[in-house]
Amino acid sequence: MKGLFWIVALFGLAVAVALGARLNDGYVLLVVPPWRAEVSLNLLIVALLGLFLVFYAVMRLLAATFGLPRQVAEYRARRQRERAGLVFQDAVRFLFEGRFGQAMKKAGEAHAAGTAPGLSALIAARAAQRMRETEKQQYWLDHARTDDPRTEAATLMLDAEMANEERRFADALAALDKLQGKQGRHIAALRLELRARQGSGDWAGVLKLVRQLAKRDALNPEVVREICTQAHLALIGRQADDRKALSAYLREVPAGERGRRVVLAAARALAVLGADGEAQKLIESALEEADADAWQPTLAALYGRLAGGEQTARIARAETWLLRHADDAQLLIALGRMCQRQRLWGKAQSYLEASLSVGPTQEAHLELARLLDQQEKPDEANEHYRASALLDTH
């Protein structure tokens, strides 16, 4: 449609010019003594237009001729940039393909050609790190820092990531501290810091970071639970010889992070320190809040080993658990132990025998043998000692 419009316009212009020339009777008198020339105005106009076109063509030809060296130089530079761009693309492709030697070579060529020097240096540094060439890795990292200020943050991120992979966790944290001072914290940097603090054993820092990442939905909930569990287990282990510090720490642990392994480790540590009352409350809270899938026989067994406190109340509480977990052998052994401490010999024996009926264990046989020894029934006790020994050999 646009082309048709221009064709119609040109035809109209041609008709207008033809009519104007036909109606124009003017002339131009040129006097150059001793000559005189009388020229039609239409012819003069045509001649001037022709001279202008000739002059324009000559000037364009001269400009093209004298500008040819510059155009050739620009063409060569453009071709060089295109080739360097292809080399840079090859470097990226080789890096993702795992062909690190070729990636470092191509990145070096792109860097020498001036194509994205900072990024080229980062690619070469990553490839050198994959090939365990430490000197080249550091060489290219230094170039990445100095050649392009825009890649400073990317350089710090890569430096931290590589330091983590090489287990240089202090160096990783130092790089991330610099990054935080320049650009603040983002999720990828927090992930790297989390890994560095895990490696360096800063479990308090790990808990702080994993909670931040959990709020941003940056980690799978199962991963969050596992990392929190690892951190709490490590911190409990560090305070296992200080009852006051351990008790204070456990009071600060959120309820959502008190998984079965954390509660078990805390209860064991408290029991070793003689804090049977605190261990009792911790175990009771965990077992009473647990559903059928979260029931922990190991905690029930530990509950039966606690010697301090009011045993009768503990027996009553454990018997309420037995209503829901009648086939739990560990709970039955725990009840047998507690009844034995209270000299409830008949109940103790019945609980231990019930445990053996659920599943014979060396522990139940030994407890029953000791109980029978206390009742001065050596023959029956010896039978259970032998049964325990037979289970031990298997």
CATH number of the domain residue 370 falls in: 1.25.40.10
pLDDT for the residue 147: 85
| pLDDT confidence bin for 170, thresholds 50/70/90 | very high
At residue 44, does pLDDT exceed 90? Answer: no
pLDDT for the residue 17: 63
| pLDDT confidence bin for 293, thresholds 50/70/90 | low
At residue 195, does pLDDT exceed 90? Answer: yes
Q: Are residues 298 and 335 in the same domain?
A: no
Q: Are residues 166 and 183 in the same domain?
A: yes
pLDDT for the residue 18: 66
Q: Are residues 342 and 388 in the same domain?
A: yes
pLDDT for the residue 291: 62
C-beta atoms surrounding 3 within 10 Å:
7
Among the candidates 248, 279, 309, a domain finishes at 309
Query: Residue 384 is which amino acid?
Result: H
| pLDDT confidence bin for 210, thresholds 50/70/90 | very high
Q: In terms of DSSP H, where are the helices of 24-151?
A: 41-66, 68-97, 100-112, 117-130, 134-147
Average pLDDT of every residue of the chain:
85
Whole-number Cα distances in Å, 174 to 42, 169, 196, 303: 85, 9, 10, 46
* Mean pLDDT (whole number) for 181-207: 88
* Mean pLDDT (whole number) for 320-337: 89
3-state SS class at 308:
coil
Q: In 175-191, which positions are buried (b, 16+ CB within 10 angstroms) versus exposed (e)?
A: bbebbeeeeeeeeebbb
At residue 75, does pLDDT exceed 80? Answer: no
| pLDDT confidence bin for 394, thresholds 50/70/90 | very low
Please list, in sequence order, all residues whose beta carbon lies within 8 angstroms of the beta carbon of residue 206, skipping any fewer than 6 positions away: 194, 197, 198, 227, 230, 231
Q: Are 352 and 337 in contact (CB under 8 A)?
A: no
Q: Given the structure tokens 């400073």, which residue do they identify?
A: 152
| pLDDT confidence bin for 297, thresholds 50/70/90 | confident
- Residue 165 is encoded by which pair of tokens? 């992979």
51 in any annotated domain? no
Q: Are residues 268 and 244 in the same domain?
A: yes
39 in any annotated domain? no
* Mean pLDDT (whole number) for 198-209: 92
Residue in 187, 138, 186 with CA at minimum distance from that of residue 162: 138
3-state SS class at 291:
coil
Q: Are residues 243 and 261 in the same domain?
A: yes
Q: Are residues 227 and 176 in the same domain?
A: no
C-beta atoms surrounding 282 within 10 Å:
23
4 in any annotated domain? no
pLDDT for the residue 13: 67
118 in any annotated domain? yes
Range of the domain at 92: 80-143
65 in any annotated domain? no
Q: Are residues 333 and 393 in the same domain?
A: yes
Helices 362-374 and 345-358 cross at an angle (nearest 10°) of 160
Among the candidates 278, 309, 340, a domain finishes at 309
* Mean pLDDT (whole number) for 266-295: 83
128 vs 26, higher pLDDT: 128
42 vs 190, higher pLDDT: 190
17 in any annotated domain? no
| Cα–Cα dist 197/159, whole Å | 16
pLDDT for the residue 241: 87
110 in any annotated domain? yes
At residue 361, does pLDDT exceed 50? Answer: yes
* pLDDT tens-digit readout, 227-247: 999 999 999 999 888 889 988
Q: Are residues 297 and 226 in the same domain?
A: yes
33 in any annotated domain? no
Q: Are residues 230 and 211 in the same domain?
A: no
Among the candidates 219, 247, 267, a domain finishes at 219
DSSP for residue 309: S
* Mean pLDDT (whole number) for 248-265: 88
Q: Are residues 177 and 102 in the same domain?
A: no
Q: State the Cα angle at 156 between 153 and 159, rounded to 5°.
A: 150
Hey, which residues does 36 pair with through a beta bridge?
31
At residue 393, does pLDDT exceed 60? Answer: no
At residue 281, does pLDDT exceed 60? Answer: yes
Counting residues of the chain whose pLDDT is more than 90, the rounded percentage is 18
Q: How many domains does the chain have?
A: 4
Q: Are residues 229 and 204 in the same domain?
A: no
